Structure 1
Amino acid sequence: MNVAFLTPEYPHEKTNHSAGIGSSIKNLVQALVKKQHQITVFVYGQKKDEIFKDNGVRVHLIKNKDYAYGKWYFYRKHIQIYINKVIETENIQIIEAPDWTGITAFMNFKIPLVIRLHGSDTYFCYLEKRKQKIKNFWFEKLAISKATAYIAPTDYAGKLTKELFNIKTKEIKTIHNGVALDRFDKYPTDQYDDGLVLYFGTLIRKKGVLELPVIMDRVIKQYPKAHLLLIGDDASDISTNSPSTWTLIEEQIKSYSLELKVSYLGKVPYESMEKYIKKAHVCVFPTYAETLGMVTIESMAMQKAVINSNIGWSQELIKDGESGFLVHPSNHSEYASKIVEVLKDNELRKTIGVKARERVEQVFDINKKVVENIAFFKTIIK
C-alpha cells in the first residue's frame, strides 16, 4: 500500500513540539515501512517547508502561513492543494488525519480519508466540562462528516465521539495505539532511584498536573524520600488565562513547602525519555481527559508501576491492582496511598511492573497493531 498521514506533530529534531499523537503515528508508520509499505507524513504548522526521509518515511513539513483574514479556511486549502499534488505524483492510495481542530474540514481528496480519533476539542471539552467555541465544534463536525472511515484508540473514545458528533452511518473501528517493544528493553525491576515519582507529558490542566502538589504533600508525609520530577512542555491554562501551567504548580509547591521535593526539567528530546523512565520508582498520570495515553503504555513497557486515572479509556489500558492502579485524580488521599504502597513494597512494585510489561506485549505491541491497521486500510482502498 501507499499510505499518507496528515498530522500537526511528528517526533523529529526538525519539527515543532510533539506529544502523544506524534509518537503513536511514528510507531505506526515505521512499522508499516518494515512491512514494505510506502509511507508519506505531512506535518503542518511548521517553521518552514522541507522534505526529508526519516527511516524510510517521506516527511513533508508544511510551513505555517499567515493571512489577512480567514486563515481557518485558506490555510486548510493551502494544505489540501499541496497534498493533492503529492497524492497524484506519488500515487498515494489512502490518507489518515486526526480529529483535533477538524483540520480536514474544508479539504477534498480523491482518495479515501480515515479520521483517527486521537481526541477532538469537542471530546476534551466534554470531559473537562468546559464550554467549547461553536466554530471549533463545527470544524470538527464537518471534518468528521467527510471522512470515509474512523479508527479509535479505545472503545471509550470511539463510543463517546460517536455520541458527541451523532455519527450514525459508519462504524468506528477500535485499534489500540502500539509501542515498538524493541525500543523499550525489559529493564531490571530493581534499578530505580528510591522515591522518584515521575510525570512526563504536557503540563496542562486536563492532564491532572495541578493535583500533583497536594498528592505529593501526602506522599512525602508517609515516605520522606519521595520526590516528584516533571518533564514536558509547559502550556497555558485556559481556566485562569495564565500563560504557564508550571507557574500555577509552583504556587502550590510553595504553599505546601515542597520546593526541595519537586523539580521540573521542561521538554526533553523524545529519544531521551527512556533514561528518565528507567530511573522512576513509580510513574503517575492523573489525567482527566485522554483517548489512550502513550506515556502510560511506554512506562508499562519498561516494567514500571503506573498510577493512572480511573476514567473511561484508562480501564482499557490497565487491569486495576494487577498491571497498575486506577484512581480518580481528585481523590488525593487514595492516589497518594497507592503511590506510597508501591514505594514501600518492593515485591508489589516488581510484580506490578512485570504484569505491566506483559499487558503491553499482549495488547499494545506495534507488531500486532500494524497488522490490524493494514487489514483495515485494505477494506477501504478501492
Structure 2
Amino acid sequence: MRRLLPSVLLLFLLIFLIPIYQVQQTSEVLILSVSLLAIGVFLAFGNQPRGLELLGGITVLMSFVGIYFAGHIMGNNGGLCLLTLWALALVGVAALMWRRATFVERGQIMVVNQLPDNRIIIFGEGVHRPLTPSFERLLAVLPAYELIQEIELHRVNTESLFNVDKIEVLIRYRVNSAREVVVGFPNRERAFEELQHERGHPESNGDYVGFWTEMMRRQMAHEVDEATRSLIASISGPTDVSKGRSDHARKIRVRLQESVQRWGVDIMELRLLEVVVDPERIRAANRDRIIARELQDAERKATIDAQVVEKVGAAQAKATAQMVSEIVGSLKEQGADLAPEDLERIIITAMQRMTDTQQLSGFFRQVTQAQAGGAPPGPPTGGSGPR
C-alpha cells in the first residue's frame, strides 16, 4: 500500500493540473505544471523525510485549483459548486480517516506486518493512517522508554564448586531496533502463547505495551541468568566474586549485550547490587588473618591478666605485711615476749584472714548477682574455719 501511494498521488496531481492547462493554455502554466510534477516525483521517490506528506499536501492544494478551473469549463457557477462539493467531500474523507486513524502515544513504537510482501512497518509516536485489515496486521506495540529491572540469582556456582548464595543484578535497557525485537525475539510464538494464556489477548495499544514489556522482562531475566552464571563459573571462589564485583559486572554486560543484540535491545547499565556469600567461606578465605588476630587478642588478654595478678598480689602482700606489723606492734606494747614460732604463727594467721576476706567478698558478689538473676547463691568454697 505504501509503495502504491506515491504513484496514486502523482496521478491525482496530474489529473488536477489538466483542467488548469485547458483553461489557461500558456507556456507559464505548462512550465509550472511540469515543475510541480517534477517536484512530486522527487518527493515521492527521493526518500525524503516527510516526502509523502508534502506530496499529499501539494496534491490537495492543487485539487482545489483544478476543481475550480474544471467548474469554469462547465459554466460560470460550476467552479464554485464543484469547489464546494469537493471541499465537503474532503472534509468527510478527513473525518472518516480521523476516526479510523492509528494513534501511537508517546513512549510507544507500533510494529505492523504488511502483506503480501511481508514487510515490517514501524510507526512512531503520533497520528498515522488507518491500517488496512486485509493487508496489514498489528504485530506489537513496544515501549520506547527505558526499562529498569532487578534480578536475583541464587546458588551460583564458582570454579571451586563453592556457591555464591545470592547475586542481585540491576539492569537498565531499552529497545534499539523495534523490527529486530519482533523478528528476532527468541521463541516468540511460544512466549506469546504462554503469556496470553496467563493474561488474555491484548486489545488496546496499552495492553500490547504491557504484554511485550512482560515478555521482554522474562527473556531478559533468562539472558542475565545465563550470562552471569557462565562468567561466575570461571571465577575461583565466592569471595573473589564479592571483591571484584565492578569488574565482573562490566564483563557480564559485554556478554549480555552480545546475547541480546540479536533481538534489538541495547544494555545501558548493569550493576551487581549485592553478592551474598556464606560467612564460613569468608572465614576460610581470611583464615590466616583471623588466626593472627586471635593470637594478638590472646596475647593482649594474657598480658592484662598478668598485670592484674601482679598488682593484686602486691596489694595483698602489702596489706598482709601491714596487718602483721600492727599485730606485732600491739603485742610488744603489751610486753609480750615473741618467739620466732609466734611470729610465724602470726604471719600465717594474717595470710589466712586475708584469704578469707577475699573469699567472703567473692561470696557477697555472687549473692548480689544471684539476687539479680533469680538463682540461689552457692556456699563459699575453700578457706579455713574460725580459729
Which bracket does the TM-score occupy, shorter chain normalised?
Answer: under 0.3
**Structure 1 or 2: larger helix share?**
2
The structure having more radius of gyration, on CA atoms, is 2
Q: Which has the higher contact order (CA 8 A, sep 6+)?
A: 1
TM-score (norm 1): 0.18
